[in-house]
Amino acid sequence: MERVAEIIESSTTSFTAGAYELLSAPPFGTLVRAQSRTAGMAVYGLVYEIRTGSKEPGGRAVVRGRTYSGRDLYDAEIYHEHPDLAEVLQTEFSAITVGYVEDERVYQYLPPHPPPVHYSVYECDRLELARFGETCDFFRGVLFSSAIPSDELLAATIRAIARARPDGRAYLVRAGRELASLLKDDYDRLSAILRRIRP
């Protein structure tokens, strides 16, 4: 499996990684795996934010859509005409920690320590995603996290897990029941999430 990024910031509950390729972060809601210093252990996170900006602290990207000769450039043309952008811009993504795997056993709660800075990050394949989705224990941690788009994130992840599993429809029903249990006192929020996970 090819690594897609490396950790550039890490805490107990989340981590941020710099993508090796500009504009190539894993999609929103993707399950990613960050290596740990402990042999046989890796930390799982869900991508909740993707951003691209200047590599320089406090720097900003500048307009590149018009040349000095007055010729207009659009979208991908800008990157083609300015290959140096890959040297001055960086794509980063942040993930909320939702569990870890140790000696092939998956745990859906916080790991003993966060992944170290500069360690590798991988995008989980369908098999690993389906295996992680065997239980729904991580739902609570995502739903009640502040400062992230928790409802959208959980809905995107549930849809991805359902697509990765052979029993996708049955998984959606099970996920819906778990959500109903967690949000029994907030019908409007529950309804909004259920609409987002409908096939």
Give the CA angle between residues 77, 82, 86 to the nearest 5°: 110
pLDDT of residue 1: 77
pLDDT digits (tens, 9 = 90+) for 137-177: 999 999 999 899 999 999 999 999 999 999 999 999 999 99
Percentage of the residues of the chain whose pLDDT score is greater than 90: 81
Dihedral of the alpha carbons of 78, 82, 87, 92, in degrees to the nearest 10:
0
Name the DSSP letter for residue 194: H
d(CA 171, CA 161): 8
In the structure, what pLDDT confidence band is assigned to residue 198 with cuts at 50, 70 and 90? confident
pLDDT digits (tens, 9 = 90+) for 70-104: 788 899 988 888 888 989 999 999 999 999 999 99
Q: Note the pTM of the prediction, 2 decimals.
A: 0.93
pLDDT of residue 62: 82
